[in-house]
Amino acid sequence: EKGEYRHFMQKEIHEQVRALTDTLAGRVDFEEGKIRIPQLNLTTEKAKQINKIIITACGTAAHAGMVGKTYLERIARVPVEVEIASEFRYRDPIVDENTVVLAISQSGETADTLAAMELGRMRGAILWSIVNAIGSQAMRLADGYISMQTGPEIGVASTKAFTAPLVDLYMLAIVLGDMRGYLSDAERRKLVNDLRLVPSLVGECLNREDAVFEVSKALKDVQNSMYLGRGINMPIAYEGALKLKEISYIHAEGYPAGEMKHGPIALVDKEMLVLAIAPKDPWYDKMISQIEQAKARGGKVAVIATDGDTRAAEIADYVFWVPDAPWYLTPIVTVIPLQIFAYHIATLRGLDVDQPRNLAKSVTVE
């Protein structure tokens, strides 16, 4: 079933163009500049009453939720909290009947995420899910859902089930922003129209696998790494670090770049790989100054940079080039080289990327 690929993870990374094309199909009306997700069971009246969205999930799914927070706040002007499900379920959260508890789960069977949904239900919240496995508990428990169109994900390291919910959350934000009256016709049309770019942007990143492989060869023996991002790309630092640690067993930490001087920069020396996510987005200038600081302390610096960005290239020891994209969509682009990088580092180290030690594909116990 792996076809031409060596591992499911590699196959699933490459399936992202198809998965994202299917994510848009049937929901995006490019003519009208509208998004339709009937499975949400949402009325305009209800949309206007929503006072808060609590996104709850674990691991990679939680990282997708963190990007979604920016979409939902900026596009729909709804307050959003992102809660790790294993924490949320044991808190005494402030939830009422106008609060949405939105679970994100590939398997739809993660014990903590389901318990977080149950807690939301008990407190009278509106329950939504973004879920891949059809007919799973997370789909059945919800009042409304968005079904990821990725097909089954076999590799333990989640890849296509990360980028699909990013697009789902972006679409959800447009639906809510529209219903709540926060989007002008022109703004909505622009946001919807930009979705046309998604499959080709991801395809363009995948075409650059060989260049990522070359950097992977140069860096395969690193022992410590720090992934830095800001704003909408801050969760991509978490996600990139998680990908590397779970399949290559290299120590990797993700940090909001602005936190560096509050402690972690003490770790930077010539043995430390600093991987900075710095596409052309509204946080770009801040990222550049933080990359300069890491470089000044002797770190090995790799940067994810937008094509043609000579400023980033001059500072960096290694560059992962990504195509220019509207800033809202940059996380969907910047995560791809990080998935490919983790994959190649792990295989170069002779590890079984589809079955990493100590991990299961779905965590159905606490």
Residues that bind ligand M6R (CB under 6 A): 58-61, 105-107, 110, 113, 156-158, 242, 246, 362-363
Written as one letter, the residue type at 354 is D
Contact 143, 42 (CB under 8 A): no
- Pick between residue 65 and residue 256 the one whose CB is nearest to ligand M6R: 65
Beta carbons within 8 Å of 254's beta carbon, 6+ residues apart: 226, 227, 228, 229, 237, 238, 239, 240, 241, 242
| DSSP 8-state symbol, 83 | E
Give me the residue whose beta carbon is nearest to ligand M6R.
59
Residue 363 host element (H or E): none
Least Å distance between CB 105 and ligand M6R?
A: 3
**Which one is catalytic: 2, 220, 286, 361?**
361
| Residue 361 bears catalytic tag | yes
DSSP assignments along 153-215, one per residue: --SSS-SHHHHHHHHHHHHHHHHHHHHTT-S-HHHHHHHHHHGGGHHHHHHHHHTTHHHHHHH
Least Å distance between CB 295 and ligand M6R?
A: 30
Beta carbons within 8 Å of 34's beta carbon, 6+ residues apart: 28, 178, 188, 192
The overall longest dimension of the chain from CA atoms, in Å, is 57
The total number of residues written for the chain in this structure: 366
- Pick between residue 111 and residue 267 the one whose CB is nearest to ligand M6R: 111
- Pick between residue 107 and residue 290 the one whose CB is nearest to ligand M6R: 107
Least Å distance between CB 57 and ligand M6R?
A: 6
- Pick between residue 310 and residue 358 the one whose CB is nearest to ligand M6R: 358
Nearest-angstrom CA–CA distance, 146 and 149: 9
Least Å distance between CB 360 and ligand M6R?
A: 8
Least Å distance between CB 313 and ligand M6R?
A: 30
- Pick between residue 88 and residue 321 the one whose CB is nearest to ligand M6R: 88
- Active centre residues (catalytic): 361
